[in-house]
Structure 1
Amino acid sequence: MKAIHLKLGIAALCVSAGAAYWYYSPLIALHQMRTAAYDNDADSFNARVDYPRLRASAKAQLNAAMHEQVKPRIDDGNDVLAKAGADFGKMLSMVISDQVIDTLVAPDAVLGAFKLGLVKSGGGSRSTPDTVKPDPKYTSERVGLNTYIVHLESGKPGVRGLSLVMERHGFASWKLAEVRLPTPAAAPN
């Protein structure tokens, strides 16, 4: 009888430990990314980034921002020249943004950008960082079972900064799939 209770207790402990690991696995993955970036371990860092998804989301965000900027600024909906200029601007922005994103969302660039968020470089001509920044303040949220979002504070009250979107790959493996840029405040017309 005692053996059954012992086995049930061990099984309950194992299930609890597995559930806790599953629940905290996105934070563990972020910590592993941070450690890999700080140690310049590109292989370990790149294993935790879904580059095709990251490129696709960055292209979509940049295209949306560029489309917003090239909208005709005229209230008259019949201005053919303004519409033609906006259409040409949209077409040109798509070509340029695809090339820019492909360059910026390369493994070395993402590792460098992630590392810049962790350390600040010292003055002078040294290229290696010498001091660690304090941990940035953030809030996080779990969206469903497969998405975990970390919102970094921007330093301005009530305004969210950059957001890192982690997605589940497997039981407790997570990859960075999207970086959401902060939305700029609307400019007065």
Structure 2
Amino acid sequence: MAAKNILMLVGDYVEDYEVMVPFQALQAVGHTVHAVCPDKKAGDKVRTAVHDFEGDQTYSEKPGHNFALNATFAEVRAEDYDALVIPGGRAPEYIRLNEKVLDIVRHFAAANKPIAAICHGAQVLAAAGVLEGRSCSAYPAVGPDVNRAGGRYVDIPSNKAHVDGNLVTAPAWPAHPEWIAKFLQVLGTRIEL
């Protein structure tokens, strides 16, 4: 397996598990992962939020860890990367306002490179206009965004993932085992045990 260079788009109050787990898991199997945030550089940190499901009408939110970025957003060239990861949390609602973020997402979609988005990450896909004719899972509250962007929202259990070609999506962090496994399949990653 040739190791892939993977770009991860994050921002303050990204969901803690949804940034930490794939960042570490993808590196553990040999890939290079660069986590970037608009207006921040390598060594800067973003705050994270822990979203939990405790029986309320929506998730609860608690402070998470600080997450250190390992690359500089201003230096990112999308063509240098083989795949894209967009974690959820609150970050997608505002990083989607950054035109360079949208251009990066459009590059991966146009080049048919693997894209993994979880939870609210689909807000960035919708804003970039890359969901037309595609099926996509997301946190249920993001379903209307997916549909309005010309996609088809797929309502699946929170521990499941959905694949549509190069696009791997899931509703929330309970889906990590399946979401990451399916993303690794789309990446063509082979793990020898």
Alignment TM-score, normalising by the size of structure 1:
0.28
More helix by share: 1
Structure with bigger RCO (C-alpha 8 Å, 6+ apart)? 1
- State which structure, 1 or 2, has the greater radius of gyration over its C-alpha atoms: 1
